[in-house]
């Protein structure tokens, strides 16, 4: 079934068309119904999105839970999507707080929380549930173009080179990641500290500082250039908590670390779950193809959809989306200090560290961690469903035919897609049970059943949260350290070294 949607001229590759014509856009083909459609918000192009006549199998099973509905009396209003020049991703939203009469730049997750709980004048937030999956979506009202439209695109920098509005810490981190490699590194040093105040969630002030790389003895594992970075200042109360964490780490024997996308953001990797959510909204038929049933019955459709998914996952790194360029990009992705911190614990403190990660990028292993449980698989690997042989994606990813195993079977990406069971659930539970220290880092703990792993810890084990924000879960953490994860790792490195130099050895 086709659906009506509002667009603007900049949403289309072609600028000259007539009503009734089907015109291509970045997110599909549209039939032009009215090129001068007017409502109280302005003049738009009324279109009909041309959907493929496929059966969207999971559609009817989604349970949608809406937050506060659109109302002119709601306190917040989205005035634009945050656009970083040279960066194809939307980095969040500029949101007006009508109560405080101020504009602030928030990440997608922060915007969703605010709108879901308090409501907006031109948008609504919802949760879509299809156990074990959950997506979060922000939609405009029907009288405005969707947030993917160029209508909303607002440059993060104003004409004077400063920020269009104050930015939250998460958006600042995104800006930092985006400008690395865009010949704009010198601008980082000009960022002014910004204090962002909003009813909920609370957001700390930010500052700019130079990072002194601490893992000098692990250069063999570190290839990325150290650059100035934007970070959340570590407050006195957090420093006290870090001393406790450092003591726990120094005295522990078996450490289990539960990690999420916050660990890989410093390497420029997009949140895998957010890419999935975005594609479910923009191109649901592509996502509907990424399951075992389609793989078994229509492998060509499966791999074509997987190629589209990979373009979206990696477009931060390369504007060229050939199979060859994507393969080259995969090889070039670097680890960051968050990964290296746990390698340092293994190599220099001789700790037994097990990483249980939701990330599918393989960067923990690339950094040098010995024991990594990939809960959702590894998107850069392929497996043979017949003989269980494994291959690197870069070695089989080709535009010429389907990737095949030596035994002749068609290969499948080694990653958890819609309807798949998670990998190594029993092993992950056992690792948590045996640990005397569990560190949760860089994850919202919203994804089931990963978020239930913490409930399997033994009574004597210490549980620590290191994150940029709180997590909503009914469990008591022994210590919570909130802030920039990389800065916290650097500070922990200093604190652990101060406890007793005998805890680590030189390589």
What are the two backbone dihedrals, phi and then psi, of residue 322, each rounded to the nearest 5 degrees?
Answer: -75, 160
Nearest to 324 by CA among 382, 396, 275, 392: 396
Q: Read out DSSP for 82-113?
A: EE-TT--SEEEEEEEETTTTEEEEE-HHHHHH
Q: How confident is the model at residue 134 (pLDDT cuts 50, 70, 90)?
A: low
Specify the pLDDT at position 35: 92
| pLDDT one-digit tens code per residue, 287-327 | 778 888 888 888 888 888 888 877 777 665 555 455 555 56
Q: How confident is the model at residue 280 (pLDDT cuts 50, 70, 90)?
A: low
Helix axes 337-349, 236-251, angle to 10 degrees: 40
User: How far is residue 192 from each of residues 18, 162, 240, measured CA to CA in Å?
Assistant: 47, 8, 27
User: How far is residue 262 from each of residues 281, 339, 415, measured CA to CA in Å?
Assistant: 23, 11, 19
Q: Could you tell me what percent of the chain has a pLDDT over 70?
A: 73
Q: How confident is the model at residue 216 (pLDDT cuts 50, 70, 90)?
A: very low
| pLDDT one-digit tens code per residue, 476-494 | 899 988 888 888 888 888 8
CB 476 within 8 A of CB 223: no
Nearest to 234 by CA among 225, 242, 226: 242
Specify the pLDDT at position 94: 95
Both structure tokens of 353: 């560290």
Specify the pLDDT at position 227: 29
| Contacts of 37 by beta carbon, 8 Å cutoff, 6+ apart | 6, 43, 44, 45, 46
pLDDT average, residue stretch 458-470: 89
Q: Which of 170-174, 255-259, 271-275 has the highest mean pLDDT?
A: 255-259
Average pLDDT, the chain: 77
Classified as helix, coil or strand, 221 is helix
Classified as helix, coil or strand, 256 is strand
Higher model confidence: residue 274 or residue 267? 267
* Residue 405 labelled as part of a binding site: yes
pLDDT average, residue stretch 88-92: 68
Q: How confident is the model at residue 179 (pLDDT cuts 50, 70, 90)?
A: low
* Domain spanning 229-267+335-375+422-503, CATH architecture: 3-Layer(aba) Sandwich (3.40)
pLDDT average, residue stretch 136-141: 87
Both structure tokens of 72: 């002119």
* Residue 382 labelled as part of a binding site: no
User: How far is residue 312 from each of residues 179, 307, 399, measured CA to CA in Å?
Assistant: 18, 9, 17
Quote the pTM value.
Answer: 0.57
Q: How confident is the model at residue 34 (pLDDT cuts 50, 70, 90)?
A: very high
Classified as helix, coil or strand, 332 is helix
Distance of alpha carbon 13 from alpha carbon 27, whole angstroms: 11
| pLDDT over 60 (residue 210) | no
Specify the pLDDT at position 62: 60
Specify the pLDDT at position 211: 36
Distance of alpha carbon 361 from alpha carbon 374, whole angstroms: 9
Nearest to 337 by CA among 173, 213, 498: 213
Q: Which of 51-55, 141-145, 390-394, 451-455 has the lowest mean pLDDT?
A: 51-55
Both structure tokens of 183: 């010949």
Distance of alpha carbon 349 from alpha carbon 428, whole angstroms: 23
| Contacts of 269 by beta carbon, 8 Å cutoff, 6+ apart | 261, 316, 333, 359, 361, 363
Domain boundary assignment for the chain: 3-49, 59-209, 229-267+335-375+422-503, 272-332+385-415
User: How far is residue 13 from each of residues 17, 23, 250, 314, 318, measured CA to CA in Å?
Assistant: 11, 8, 58, 22, 20
Specify the pLDDT at position 122: 95
CB 96 within 8 A of CB 103: yes
pLDDT average, residue stretch 460-484: 86
| pLDDT over 80 (residue 196) | no
Pairing of strands 3-7, 352-357: unpaired
| pLDDT over 90 (residue 379) | no
Nearest to 261 by CA among 166, 367, 336: 336
| pLDDT one-digit tens code per residue, 183-195 | 433 333 333 333 3
| pLDDT over 50 (residue 363) | yes
- Could you give the strand order of the β-sheet that contains 377-383, starting from the edge strand earlier in sequence? 390-392, 377-383, 412-415
Q: How confident is the model at residue 472 (pLDDT cuts 50, 70, 90)?
A: confident
Specify the pLDDT at position 80: 94
| pLDDT one-digit tens code per residue, 49-64 | 876 544 344 444 567 7
Phi-psi region of 157 (alpha: psi -120 to 50; beta: other; left: phi over 0): beta
CB 411 within 8 A of CB 398: no
| pLDDT over 90 (residue 258) | yes
Specify the pLDDT at position 50: 79
| pLDDT over 80 (residue 224) | no
Distance of alpha carbon 163 from alpha carbon 343, whole angstroms: 36
Both structure tokens of 311: 């373009």
Q: How confident is the model at residue 431 (pLDDT cuts 50, 70, 90)?
A: very high
| pLDDT one-digit tens code per residue, 404-424 | 899 999 999 888 876 677 778
Which parts of 57-184 fold into alpha helices (H)? 108-118, 169-179
Distance of alpha carbon 203 from alpha carbon 233, whole angstroms: 12
DSSP state of 266: G
Both structure tokens of 325: 């360029």
Q: Which residues are catalytic?
A: 376
| pLDDT over 70 (residue 87) | no
Distance of alpha carbon 230 from alpha carbon 463, whole angstroms: 28
């Amino acid at each position: 079934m086709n659906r009506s949607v509002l667009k603007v001229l900049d949403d289309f590759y072609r600028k000259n068309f007539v009503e009734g014509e089907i015109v291509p856009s970045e997110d599909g083909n549209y039939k032009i119904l009215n090129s001068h459609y007017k409502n109280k918000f302005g003049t738009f192009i009324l279109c009909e999105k041309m959907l493929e006549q496929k059966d969207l199998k999971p559609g009817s099973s989604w349970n949608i839970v809406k937050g506060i509905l659109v109302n002119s009396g709601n306190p917040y209003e989205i005035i634009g999507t945050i656009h970083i020049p040279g960066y194809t991703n939307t980095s969040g939203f500029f949101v007006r707080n009508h109560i405080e009469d101020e504009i602030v730049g928030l990440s997608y997750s922060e915007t969703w929380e605010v709108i879901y709980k308090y409501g907006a004048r031109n948008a609504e937030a919802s949760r879509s549930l299809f156990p074990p999956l959950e997506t979060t979506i922000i939609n405009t009202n029907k009288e405005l173009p969707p947030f993917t439209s160029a209508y909303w695109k607002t440059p993060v920098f104003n004409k004077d080179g400063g920020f269009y509005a104050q930015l939250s810490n998460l958006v600042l981190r995104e800006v930092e990641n985006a400008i690395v490699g865009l010949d704009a590194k010198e601008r980082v040093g000009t960022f002014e500290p910004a204090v962002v105040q909003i009813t909920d969630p609370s957001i700390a002030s930010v500052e700019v500082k130079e990072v002194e790389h601490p893992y000098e003895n692990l250069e063999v594992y570190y290839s990325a250039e150290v650059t100035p970075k934007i970070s959340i200042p570590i407050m006195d109360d957090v420093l006290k908590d870090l001393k406790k964490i450092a003591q726990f780490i120094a005295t522990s024997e078996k450490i289990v670390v539960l990690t999420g996308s916050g660990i890989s953001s410093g390497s420029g990797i997009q949140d895998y779950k957010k890419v999935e959510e975005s594609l479910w909204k923009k191109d649901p038929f592509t996502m509907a193809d990424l399951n075992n049933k389609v793989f078994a019955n229509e492998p060509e459709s499966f791999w074509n959809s997987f190629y589209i998914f990979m373009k979206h996952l990696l477009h931060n790194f390369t504007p060229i989306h050939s199979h060859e360029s994507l393969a080259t990009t995969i090889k070039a992705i670097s680890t960051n200090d968050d990964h290296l911190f746990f390698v340092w614990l293994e190599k220099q403190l001789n700790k037994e560290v097990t990483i249980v990660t939701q990330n599918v990028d393989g960067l923990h292993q690339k950094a040098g961690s010995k024991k990594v449980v990939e809960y959702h698989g590894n998107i850069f690997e392929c497996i043979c469903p017949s003989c269980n042989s494994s291959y690197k994606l870069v070695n089989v990813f080709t535009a010429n035919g389907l990737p095949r195993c030596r035994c002749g079977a068609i290969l499948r990406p080694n990653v958890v897609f819609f309807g798949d069971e998670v990998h190594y659930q029993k092993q992950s539970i056992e690792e948590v049970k045996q640990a005397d220290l569990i560190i949760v880092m860089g994850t919202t703990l919203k994804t089931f059943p990963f978020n239930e792993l913490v409930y399997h810890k033994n009574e004597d084990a210490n549980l620590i949260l290191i994150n940029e924000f709180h997590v909503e879960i009914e469990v008591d953490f022994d210590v919570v350290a909130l802030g920039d994860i990389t800065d916290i790792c650097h500070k922990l490195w200093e604190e652990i070294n101060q406890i007793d130099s005998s805890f680590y050895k030189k390589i």
